């Protein structure tokens, strides 16, 4: 079985400028791995309509799912919804169910402002993604899932969305620490990777107060295969001291 694949498109000048630290990709990667969806690509783009459209069209053609983060708020630079509509060649307008979600969030008797209604503009044919934090929904158009950039809202939207998506086998992992540098173990690691192509074997050097070394992480969907790889890594660790 081959797991579905995914890409993430992070949208926002504030990320590229360093003004805001990006946190959603880390959360998404962990959740997708546990759900059996392989995150293969993360791309960051500015608040530029043409750039967003081009990136969306490239990513949605290559992956089972595309998750976006950012650009669906009430201000002039929140242009993601319009870019998604353009990428799919569909119209966009205020939708009654999105308006109702926002009305419920602000409370009965309060008039929705133009800024509220901007967040109720949804591309035609989209499915809403619930937002239990602020009420302003995300949405999915085919395999593109559009969510907020605010981390707490992104998390809430992902919680609402994930159970409905095509998924696969959870990605499992094992790890072993070596108290030697990568150069000492590069050759046996290469041999192990070639012998077990069904696994992903990553080498991550570190340096701490006690010295330096290498953490080896084995990832895959078969726990028995991971266990066999860890056994072989343990033997390699004994051989290098």
Condensed to tens digits (0 to 9), the pLDDT of residues 215-237 reads 999 999 999 999 999 999 999 99
Tell me what pLDDT residue 108 has.
Answer: 84
How many CA atoms, within 13 angstroms, populate the side-chain half-sphere of residue 127? 11
Cα separation, 76 vs 96, in Å, equals 22
Cα separation, 24 vs 147, in Å, equals 10
Cα separation, 9 vs 193, in Å, equals 30
3 state DSSP class of 31: helix
How many CA atoms, within 13 angstroms, populate the side-chain half-sphere of residue 136? 24
* Interval 187-195 mean pLDDT: 96
Tell me what pLDDT residue 241 has.
Answer: 75
Q: What's the pTM?
A: 0.89
* Interval 33-38 mean pLDDT: 94
Query: Are 35 and 165 contacting, i.e. CB atoms less than 8 angstroms apart?
Result: yes
Q: Length of the chain in residues, anyone?
A: 241
Cα separation, 89 vs 98, in Å, equals 21
* Interval 153-160 mean pLDDT: 98
Instruction: Indicate whether 1 pLDDT > 60.
Output: no
Pick left, alpha or beta for residue 237 (phi over 0 → left; psi -120 to 50 → alpha; otherwise beta).
alpha
* 55-66 per-position pLDDT tens digit: 999 999 999 999
What is the dihedral sign for C-alpha 126, 65, 70, 50? Answer: negative
Hey, what are 123's tokens? 């591309």
Hey, what are 99's tokens? 């308006």
The residues, any chain, with a CB within 8 Å of residue 61's CB and separated by 6 or more, are: none
* 62-112 per-position pLDDT tens digit: 999 999 999 999 999 999 999 999 999 999 999 999 999 999 999 988 999
Pairing of strands 172-178, 200-208: unpaired
* Interval 122-139 mean pLDDT: 97
Instruction: Indicate whether 209 pLDDT > 80.
Output: no
């Amino acid at each position: 079985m081959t797991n579905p694949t995914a890409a993430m498109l992070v949208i926002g000048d504030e990320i590229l400028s360093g003004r805001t630290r990006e946190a959603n990709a880390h959360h998404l990667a962990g959740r997708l791995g546990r759900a059996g969806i392989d995150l293969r690509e993360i791309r960051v783009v500015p608040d530029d309509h043409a750039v967003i459209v081009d990136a969306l069209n490239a990513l949605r053609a290559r992956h089972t799912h595309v998750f976006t983060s950012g650009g669906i708020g009430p201000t002039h630079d929140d242009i993601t919804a319009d870019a998604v509509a353009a990428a799919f060649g569909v119209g966009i307008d205020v939708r009654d169910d999105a308006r109702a979600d926002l009305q419920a969030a602000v409370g009965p008797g309060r008039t929705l402002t133009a800024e509220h209604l901007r967040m109720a503009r949804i591309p035609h044919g989209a499915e809403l993604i619930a937002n239990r934090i602020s009420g302003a929904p995300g949405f999915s158009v085919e395999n593109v899932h559009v969510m907020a950039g605010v981390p707490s809202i992104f998390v809430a939207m992902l919680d609402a969305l994930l159970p409905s998506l095509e998924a696969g086998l959870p990605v499992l992992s094992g790890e072993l620490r070596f108290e030697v540098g990568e150069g000492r173990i590069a050759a046996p690691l290469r041999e192990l990777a070639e012998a077990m192509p069904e696994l992903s074997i990553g080498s991550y050097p570190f340096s701490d107060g006690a010295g330096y070394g290498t953490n080896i992480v084995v990832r895959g969907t078969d726990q028995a295969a991971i266990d066999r790889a860890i056994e072989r890594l343990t033997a390699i660790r004994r051989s290098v001291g």
